[in-house]
Structure 1
Amino acid sequence: MSKIDKKLDKFIEEKIEKVLLEDIMSSRFGRYSKYIIQDRALPDARDGLKPVQRRILYAMGQMGLAFNKSYKKSARIAGEVMGKYHPHGDSSIYEAMVRMSQDFKMRVPLVDMHGNNGSIDGDSAAAMRYTEARLSKEAEFLLKDIDKRTVNFVPNFDDEEQEPTVLPARFPNLLVNGAMGISAGYATKIPPHNLNEVIDATIALIDNPNITNDEILKYIKGPDFPTGGIVQGKAGIKEALTTGSGKIIIRAKMNVEEMSKSQDRIVITEIPYEVNKADLVRQIDNLRINNNIEDILEIRDETDQEGLRIAIDLKKGADAQFIQNYLLKSSDLQVNYNYNMVAILKHRPVLSGAFELLKVYLEHQKEVVTNRSNYELERATKRNHIVDGLIQMTSVVSEVIEEIRKSKNKADSKENIQKRFGFSELQAEAIVMLQLYRLSTTDIQALLDEKDTLYKEITRLEQILSNERILLKTIKSELQEVQTLLPSPRRTELEAEIETIKIDEKDLISDEQTYVAITKDGYVKRASLRSVVASKEVGLKENDAMLYEEELNTLDTLLLFTNLGQYIYLPVYKIEEQKWRDLGVYINNIVPTSKGETIIRVLKVSDFSIDQKILLTTKQGQMKQVNLADFEVSRYNRPLRAMKLSKDDELVSVDYNQLDNIVAISKHGYVLRFDTEELPVYGLTAGGVKSMALAEGDEVAVAFYAKESDDFYFLTSRGHIIKDTVLELPKYARNRRGIILVDRIKTSPHFIISASRVSKTQIKEDVKVRILSTKEALITTVSDLKYVANKYGKKMVEDGYYLEIYPAETEEKDTPVQPKKEVKKDDTLQAKVIEETIQTKQNQKLRLSRLDLFDEE
């Protein structure tokens, strides 16, 4: 056993190599990456083809499938490619062949296919056993002269065949047809360009090797997609063609047809490159079905053999231009295209601009034409030598025939005439193989003419090989020949600037009246006026009540203020329409709200541009004014900050419609009136300034704008409504405690919960009043709030939660608000706080009531 062990150990030492796993992985992946970069996914800059495409075209050329020959089954072609050159799946070969035949993918199709080769709707091609193919006329220009040793050949995978490393490529195929591919660490995305423009740029480079990128851009104006369309962004095109990387916009080509005097139809005739037409039609139809855009009546795909056509019928009176803009913004009628011009240059992937790619192509053409000229010169020289021999032979034809007749066989004949007449082996071979009828006078003249032609050909080829100017001239003439034989008018329109499309969603909404309700528990619903009239009762959860209920326009916006100092921007048209008896949608399902966040006030805004202020107040007495315009936003998928709050503080009151005075009332019954101009206007992210000095345990309950001529009602925790007059309140400076409104009872005191001003106009109109308890809502009028002489007012509900008195319908005659002077924050902080209490000689503290109309310090 020991001998066997020793032999085994020796075998392991000799045959098995110990290498770290990371080294093996690194080495193997590096080799794999190099393979897929160079030999699979990225095109060669010289002929613009990936290996599989090159092998397909070469195999078809070898099979004799010229553009003017008959078609052959695609399965046979795929089998030929797979068996000889490309040892991969037949499906990958067939898919590559199909793509090269699709005129909506390739600017210049390289394969001419019979049968179903797929469609712009994303339909796959028929199986390879059903379709037939041959080379297109353009592909033959890529293969032309490949049999004249113009390019290098290498052994195939089994060393039984030879395949080209690159095609001769008579035109710059990479820029003309573009490319797309993803490999390890690299990707390429090159759009197709116009054949004539690319050839013009190449000729310009031949004429001026020091041509600048700006001059090249005069010839290559931009991409030219097979599907047409409109390309915007001259700056992006310039950057891409200069650096290899840039961004453009592709949009569909549309026009408007008149169906009747008031009804239009949008017709799409060209769509962006690589956009699936069926998906696009479905996408636009979904916008119609989901009511994203209500003015589309019907969409139809009317594409036929005459060309692409998508018809969009609009409703009467619809704005066709606006709908076009909306569709461009919301669908694939407009897409971004990002250049990433990576190609294999000198066996390495390189990000290149148009100048570098054309330069590489030109160097390739120099090599191709040089190789072809060497090949043709060799053949012409050889033929010239033979013709010389034949002409020489005509002067001694009898002797030559006699010498051949005396010879034993062909080899002997050759040897004899070589010795006697001094012919070379090539000449002797040609002489012995010559047919006797060729010895006529006519054929001798033909030989003399051929010699003259060969002399000119040899001279031309020698000049090409010895003079680079003539070499470049030859390349130029061949490119011009391609231009003549392959006309290619531009399909894609170019526009210099990228047009920014701004869509106001309100333009999509029908202007109509609707009913909106919001409950104190946070349920929101919108219902048609018909549904409200038809419903006997409103849908509510148990112990819930309506906080807001009003007829609105669909174009109005609601601002929902929450106790956490935030507001929810909610356009009316965004609220889901339901039946009036339904519960509605919980606010957290519309925008995400925090735990414990409740709605305290709802404001309707029809126009944010008016000069209006909103008053925000917290329970700790912080207060500020904010311009209404600051609340307008374009993105509103979450609650937005209305006021910065300190720890344990909450927003308790929101008012609008700025007036001369601000009245603040605390929970314990203190009221403070001061001039509105004393309160600064801040932005949404700021906190406020101190508005009211509070005793320990007290907090602000409500604050509102008011005129001196106004009355105001306030709601207590016990459900009582108490009336008072603004004029009877003494006016103090901001940051004072104020005077007491309601005497407190030791047991079950009346705490202030909510309040609202009442103008003379509101009293005259007897406007509606909404009073909420924690479990129900009471809808009444101002006249019903009158009460007998009772300092605690009139009991209206079980317990107080919220009070709102609706505004008057007719315009109130407001006293103009005086211009506001700027209040410095430092001055505010240093404001003197005067306690509204007095102390007697017996050291008793007395509290001032609202009847004490003077301030004792």
Structure 2
Amino acid sequence: MSLKQRIIPVNIEDQMKSAYIDYSMSVIVSRALPDVRDGLKPVHRRVLYGMSDLGLTYNKSYKKSARIVGEVLGKYHPHGDSSVYDTMVRMAQHWSLRYPLVDGQGNFGSMDGDSPAAMRYTEARLERISDEMLADIGKETVDFAFNFDDTLKEPTVLPARIPNLLVNGASGIAVGMATNMLPHNLTEVVDGIVAQIANPDITIEELMQYIKAPDFPTGGIIYGTSGVREAFETGRGRVVVRGRAEIQVADNGRETIVVTEIPYQVNKANLVAKIAELVNDKKIIGISDIRDESDRDGLRIVVDVKRDAMASVVLSMLYKYTALQTSYGVNNVALVNGRPELLNLKDIIAEFIKFRIEVIVRRTQYDLRKAIARAHILVGLLIALDYIDMVIDLIRGSATPEDARNGLMAGAFIEDMDKFWKQFGPLIEQADTDEYPREEGNALSEAQARAILDMRLQKLTGLERDKVKEEYDELQERIAYLKSILESEELQREIAAEELQEIKEKYGDERRTDITAADGEISIEDLIANEEVVVTISSLGYIKRTPVSEYRKQSRGGRGSRGSKTRDADFVEHLFIASTHNYLLLFTESGRCHWLRVYEIPEANKTSSGRVIQNILAIPKDDSIKAYINIQDLTDEEFINNNNIVFCTRNGLIKKTLVEAYSRPRAGGINAITINEGDQLIEAKLTNGNQEVFIASRSGRAIRFEESKVRAMGRTAAGVRGISLNEDGKDIAVGMVIIDPEEAETAIMVLSEKGMGKRTLYSDYRLTNRGGKGVKNMQITDKTGGVFSIKAVSEDSDLMITTRDGIVIRMAVSDIRVMGRATQGVRLIKLDKHDEMADIAVIHKSEDEDEPTTPPAFDEEE
């Protein structure tokens, strides 16, 4: 036949399709995906079985890795040596597997991504837990298949007493599919499997009471449980893991972030380099130095925080921009009966339980077969010992061993056959086995005859005969027990549960990865004390919160106590009271709105300067906070749709907008009001729609009108005229207060630029229309200076006045008597020659506060 005649033409498309499908199935089944039963890919299975072949158990000496790789390559794995060695190395790395299966000696790499030493330098043996993966493999518990050249057989799966797929996880990329299964804690997994054995109808919700979440070898903190729950329920999910970091404060007040655990599979050296790169690129600010202080005792990364930075904010930025917070996409794809399937937690456990019961049944069948075979031999020995003299005579009289064997089988040593069958017949029939057949009419089988011929002379003693009888009786009990196992599925499940409990007792340990709820899963207010604090913001943007109790009450006219320690050319510009649980809406002079929870503001004593607000909020350096609003809950639909925020600008414009427009916090803030050129925001207040607006000007005039006179506008509107100012170019609006018209006792506290102040009843100001010049509010002279600020006060409240030099004085409003609209007022604080007023805040008295310890000073009325 010519060469041309042997060429068969085929369609290339069909050939490519067939070849690619074959290749795809080979990758899926024989390379990339783990088996749901033992959780191993073929290469892992071959490494463990090859090491077992070499006798490298945990209690034997190590062997060169090159010897192991050669064994696996030559017998079972027809691929490159690097695939085998890399697999063995990973199974020995304590940071890669939650429960390592190989005990390595030498350089097996590091968390920094360092390569292991060459295989000729390292040694290895199996870990003790690997014995459980290979237990009972010699008892026909699993199927074997021919290796690549059909010269040897290898197991298609390991018996695996431990649920390796769940405890060590797996990852791999096949063709058209992939798997990524996370490791879990052995103790939790065993408890969950035992619970499912006891109750096959258990729900995943109930299983999660035992198996709480993945447990990584490198520890860390799982941030949020919703992704874990989704992965358990569907087989797909997203688990977010954070490194374990602690903020430490030195004696000098400097803060340091110490990282002791990093997320699973994160390269430590790359993480440190990435942080340094972000610091150099100024994407993360507030870090002065970073050091890797890891040693043989454990991982330790130290991040030094700058003195003016807030460590918690820096840590949040590290979580956001680096692998210190990493998410893992869970994709539980494994081979079930040779086919890839997506499995949820209950499915994986069900398949493992099914496999363990199969192993127990096959092991029991093997043990039963061996026990029956041994009982068969023991029956022959008992017969021979009972007829020992005749047996010896028969053997001595036989010409060859074959003649002796045939004589024993035929019962030639028996004189009274009827008596023999009556005595041993039931025992012989009970001991008959297919493995050792006995020909019809023969007294013994060939196996029994051979055992008699091989019997040592010491068996002839009476004591030895008793031992044979005792062994036979014990075997009968064991045979009965083994048969009961095969007949009872419930007993099989009990054995599976008992063996798992033994595994738990031997290898179980504590969880390494903690679990914490993500934002929105728990209310952080439950973890933070609800208390009132004094919040101060300086002109240069330093912010802090201080307990109200730190400010000692003084009498009017005093010098005040030292409050916030400000830097040169800086002064406290805002000082107000807020609850730690509140939302703080901060409005800048350019009309931007930013959100901040009060507990997020760094706490400091009253003499501290605080932290730069740009480290907390994304506020441009050329902008500053001008107004604030405390709101308890931005998710209350009824509240945000029935309350407004009223804005007032320096040029006397006013705008009203529903709170709902500002109820969705954004990291970079939003435009709250459009500010015209040359204007700036001076105040923002919360209203309920039925209140009155009071605006005062620097020139000593004020206007009072109903809130309803201002229509609601959109978030970006500029507003309408609230008060008409003098046209000399010097007059500006200095403040706005919102008053409930039913509170007739409310008074307006007016403070001048030179420390003069007075209290006037709100009812003294007549109601007018919006947009007018208003009425006289304060007698303005050179001694008073222009009006600096106005506040609404009540008889039982206190004032806290701050100067640009940082002097703070607190006094009771009741110490300042009520005066008319046109008066100059009394001196509230004595200013140094170059000092000026900075801010005034109203404090509502706490029931446990002490009364003033010094008598009130005289009224200095002008």
| Structure 2 length-normalised TM | 0.61
The equivalent of 1:816 in structure 2 is: none
> Please, which of 211, 214, 219 is the counterpart of residue 210 of structure 2?
219
Q: CA contact under 8 A between 2:39 and 2:165: conserved in structure 1?
A: yes
Letter in 2 for 1:426: A
Unaligned runs of 5+ in 1: 503-508, 514-529, 531-554, 561-566, 570-601, 616-623, 644-652, 660-676, 690-704, 713-760, 766-809, 812-857
Paired with 1:710 and 1:84, the residues of 2 have a C-alpha distance of 100
Letter in 2 for 1:29: Y
The equivalent of 1:656 in structure 2 is: 679
| Matches for 1:101-500 after TM superposition, within 5 Å | 101-316=92-307, 318-419=309-410, 420-421=412-413, 422-498=443-519
Q: CA contact under 8 A between 1:612 and 1:656: conserved in structure 2?
A: no
SS at structure 2 position matched to 1:61: helix
Q: Deviations over 1:644-694 (max 9, x none)?
A: xxxxxxxxx9553599xxxxxxxxxxxxxxxxx9999976999x99xxxxx
Counterparts in 2 of 1:711 and 1:138: CA distance versus 1, 3 Å:
closer
Q: CA contact under 8 A between 1:154 and 1:163: conserved in structure 2?
A: yes
SS at structure 2 position matched to 1:656: coil
CA offset at residue 476 of structure 1?
1.5
Paired with 1:711 and 1:373, the residues of 2 have a C-alpha distance of 102
Q: CA contact under 8 A between 1:381 and 1:458: conserved in structure 2?
A: yes
Paired with 2:666 and 2:233, the residues of 1 have a C-alpha distance of 37
Paired with 1:556 and 1:205, the residues of 2 have a C-alpha distance of 57
Letter in 1 for 2:357: K
Paired with 1:607 and 1:126, the residues of 2 have a C-alpha distance of 63
1:22 aligns with 2:13: yes
Structure 1 window deviating more from structure 2 (283-292 vs 188-197): it is 283-292
1:709 aligns with 2:730: no
CA offset at residue 411 of structure 1?
2.3
Paired with 2:138 and 2:624, the residues of 1 have a C-alpha distance of 80
Paired with 2:73 and 2:656, the residues of 1 have a C-alpha distance of 75
Q: CA contact under 8 A between 1:404 and 1:413: conserved in structure 2?
A: yes
Q: Deviations over 1:368-400 (max 9, x none)?
A: 111111111111111111011111111222221
Paired with 1:203 and 1:213, the residues of 2 have a C-alpha distance of 14
Q: CA contact under 8 A between 1:181 and 1:187: conserved in structure 2?
A: yes
SS at structure 1 position matched to 2:109: coil
CA offset at residue 201 of structure 1?
1.2
Letter in 2 for 1:393: A
Counterparts in 2 of 1:381 and 1:23: CA distance versus 1, 3 Å:
same
Q: Deviations over 1:43-92 (max 9, x none)?
A: 11010001110111111111111011111111111111111111111101
Q: Which has the higher contact order (CA 8 A, sep 6+)?
A: 2
Paired with 1:78 and 1:318, the residues of 2 have a C-alpha distance of 53
Letter in 2 for 1:454: L
CA offset at residue 137 of structure 1?
0.8
Counterparts in 2 of 1:709 and 1:296: CA distance versus 1, 3 Å:
closer
Paired with 2:711 and 2:8, the residues of 1 have a C-alpha distance of 85
CA offset at residue 496 of structure 1?
3.5
Letter in 2 for 1:136: E
Paired with 1:17 and 1:287, the residues of 2 have a C-alpha distance of 61
Q: CA contact under 8 A between 1:614 and 1:626: conserved in structure 2?
A: no
CA offset at residue 635 of structure 1?
8.0
Paired with 2:253 and 2:726, the residues of 1 have a C-alpha distance of 55
Q: CA contact under 8 A between 2:671 and 2:716: conserved in structure 1?
A: no
RMSD of the alignment, in Å?
A: 4.4
The equivalent of 1:99 in structure 2 is: 90
Letter in 2 for 1:709: E
Paired with 1:259 and 1:288, the residues of 2 have a C-alpha distance of 22
SS at structure 1 position matched to 2:245: strand
Letter in 2 for 1:656: D
Aligned residues: 586
Counterparts in 2 of 1:708 and 1:658: CA distance versus 1, 3 Å:
farther
Counterparts in 2 of 1:680 and 1:446: CA distance versus 1, 3 Å:
same
Counterparts in 2 of 1:445 and 1:604: CA distance versus 1, 3 Å:
closer
SS at structure 2 position matched to 1:339: strand
SS at structure 2 position matched to 1:219: coil
The equivalent of 1:814 in structure 2 is: none
Q: CA contact under 8 A between 1:613 and 1:626: conserved in structure 2?
A: no
Paired with 1:634 and 1:678, the residues of 2 have a C-alpha distance of 31
Q: CA contact under 8 A between 2:588 and 2:681: conserved in structure 1?
A: no
SS at structure 2 position matched to 1:189: strand
Counterparts in 2 of 1:256 and 1:212: CA distance versus 1, 3 Å:
same
Q: CA contact under 8 A between 1:464 and 1:471: conserved in structure 2?
A: yes
Paired with 2:332 and 2:284, the residues of 1 have a C-alpha distance of 39
| Structure 1 length-normalised TM | 0.61
Paired with 1:706 and 1:410, the residues of 2 have a C-alpha distance of 132
How high is the sequence identity, in percent, across the aligned residues? 42
Letter in 1 for 2:82: S
| Matches for 1:544-559 after TM superposition, within 5 Å | none
Unaligned runs of 5+ in 2: 414-442, 525-536, 542-567, 569-585, 595-620, 630-645, 683-707, 731-781, 787-835, 838-862
Paired with 2:380 and 2:665, the residues of 1 have a C-alpha distance of 95
Q: CA contact under 8 A between 1:558 and 1:603: conserved in structure 2?
A: no
SS at structure 2 position matched to 1:209: coil
CA offset at residue 604 of structure 1?
5.9
CA offset at residue 292 of structure 1?
4.2
SS at structure 1 position matched to 2:510: coil
SS at structure 1 position matched to 2:365: helix
CA offset at residue 200 of structure 1?
1.1
Q: Deviations over 1:551-580 (max 9, x none)?
A: xxxx999989xxxxxx9x9xxxxxxxxxxx
Paired with 1:455 and 1:30, the residues of 2 have a C-alpha distance of 54
Letter in 2 for 1:217: M
SS at structure 1 position matched to 2:129: helix
Counterparts in 2 of 1:604 and 1:70: CA distance versus 1, 3 Å:
closer
CA offset at residue 236 of structure 1?
2.0
Q: Deviations over 1:259-315 (max 9, x none)?
A: 214123322221111111112222233344444445433322222222222222334
Counterparts in 2 of 1:134 and 1:499: CA distance versus 1, 3 Å:
farther
Paired with 1:118 and 1:275, the residues of 2 have a C-alpha distance of 14
Q: CA contact under 8 A between 1:262 and 1:317: conserved in structure 2?
A: no
The equivalent of 1:56 in structure 2 is: 47
Letter in 1 for 2:151: E
Paired with 1:326 and 1:55, the residues of 2 have a C-alpha distance of 45
Paired with 2:477 and 2:588, the residues of 1 have a C-alpha distance of 88
Counterparts in 2 of 1:144 and 1:394: CA distance versus 1, 3 Å:
same
Counterparts in 2 of 1:362 and 1:151: CA distance versus 1, 3 Å:
same
1:38 aligns with 2:29: yes
CA offset at residue 633 of structure 1?
10
The equivalent of 1:768 in structure 2 is: none
Paired with 2:133 and 2:338, the residues of 1 have a C-alpha distance of 20
